[in-house]
Structure 1
Amino acid sequence: MPQEQYAHRSTLSSNEGPHVYKVGIYGWRKRCLYFFVLLLMILILVNLAMTIWILKVMNFTIDGMGNLRITEKGLRLEGDSEFLKPLYAKEIRSRPGNPLFVQSDQNVTINILNGEMKAVTQLVTGPEAIEAYGKRLEVKSNTNKLLFSADNEEVVVGADRLRVLGAEGAVFPKSVETPYVKAEPFHHLRLESPTRTLIMEAPKGVEINAEAGSLEASCRSDLRLESKDGEILLEASNVKLPQLPRGSYSSSATRQKVYELCVCPNGRLFLSQAGSGSTCQINTSVCL
């Protein structure tokens, strides 16, 4: 600092000479001041250089920072982005024509919260399974047609056709209600209950039709066809019952090839050799 000197003349004594006073910082104080000023200038230059370097590395522009761009519709991220903490957004979508990838080392969880901040719907995709929690699950087509829905009451398949591609078919532990059961073209349709009873019933009748093949019904115990208000109609060019028991016959009619179909009082059918009259009364041993 410049040295300032001034002369002070005393009004009390005119015989005294002028006094000189030195104003400023001298010695080690002056050197410390210069050192701190120089250090401050160095820190300012380093700070300015670091700021410019950060702006350059992070690619700061007027539109955003790095892969983050600020647009009129919101924020746009280009390339891969990693979020270490929760992300809150109203809408997340990819650029037109590009897919959207959500990747995690453990699982991805999507929660829908109510007003009390409790999860009412949750989707968890983990390494072993995909789990969904909610009151109702719906799958719709692009035309807003219901394809599948499930809730606590029922499961609805709204597609025109339900295909089961497994080799063992479909297993229903309880009853099945459907208006139509049909096999794929050139494939067999098989309804089977390996250890229990198979029951088919309808209030207005059950129709079984095989247009291009044979129809077979087999069981280990009893096969029962029952019609409470109508009739049972077997309509075919040939109706064969090959394993019906035969009634007693005489040795003189061993070459007999014409039989009479007889019915026991208990409903059992048997064959009896035909004669000039009915022979069913003679062959009653089968009905016992």
Structure 2
Amino acid sequence: MPSIISVSNLSKTYGSGFKALNGINLDIKRGEIFALLGPNGAGKTTVISIICGIANLSEGRVTVGGHDINRDYRAARSLIGLVPQELHTDSFETVWATVSFSRGLFGKPKNPAHIEKVLKDLSLWDKKDSKIITLSGGMKRRVMIAKALSHEPQILFLDEPTAGVDVELRKGMWDVVRGLQASGVTIILTTHYIQEAEEMADRIGVINKGEIILVEDKAGLMQKLGKKQLTLHLQQKIDAIPSALAPYKLQLSGDGRLLTYDYDTKGERTGITSLLTDLRNAGIHISDLDTTQSSLEDIFVSLVRAP
């Protein structure tokens, strides 16, 4: 798929001399869900703010839909809907007025049918005449998403969109996100709920200390960096692992009744087959076995902790 956002050699240095971003290169494909993960202070929000025109870049170039964000700001910004971390809206306006006003800011003609659809999709229709100040935190978050969708953007940025939102409502939001992707909208999200990225994203980017350290298809990332562990339940207790099994780097536990074997996905079939054969040859018999696989969260933690 062609790129709808292209970031080249992007750096951001603040007046104090602090370098928040250092040489970021990133391409977002049209129509994908891209998750940008990183610890607090890694630079996620700074990247989004620059692409959306909220902050200025220090070096580099960013294009959105082929439009340079500096030279052709209006065209670039009109393609983007942004749901920021912080809730910013007029507390004393109604939901309907707030969302409709956001559409007008982009020069779009009135379209009550579109506003109605957005509010219904986000379970806000029965609150359309309520003032923002009367809403719960979760509802205010949904209003922010509705505002971002009001002008029918091609790209939607979701910066920690489900922070403070209950589990049921979170699921409803992701159903909306899937529907938007199906209609051709490109979704870029940051989240602390890594399981959401694991479930939703097509590709994963990891940023740490202002630098992109990895961009990978989710499936490829899980296969390349995911580790599996095989746990073998032994019929009889053993006191030590036979030397013939040393190449497998097995761990003995469970009072001598459990063996664990760590392996990657590449050598899964041949490694396990060889291990089971060598166990039989060593006179060790198995009563049961089970496997576990590292999650995206495990991979993320290992990446950001790497020196």
State TM-score, norm by structure 2.
0.21
Bigger proportion of residues as helix: 2
Greater Rg over alpha carbons, structure:
1
State TM-score, norm by structure 1.
0.22
More RCO (CA 8 Å, sep 6+): 2
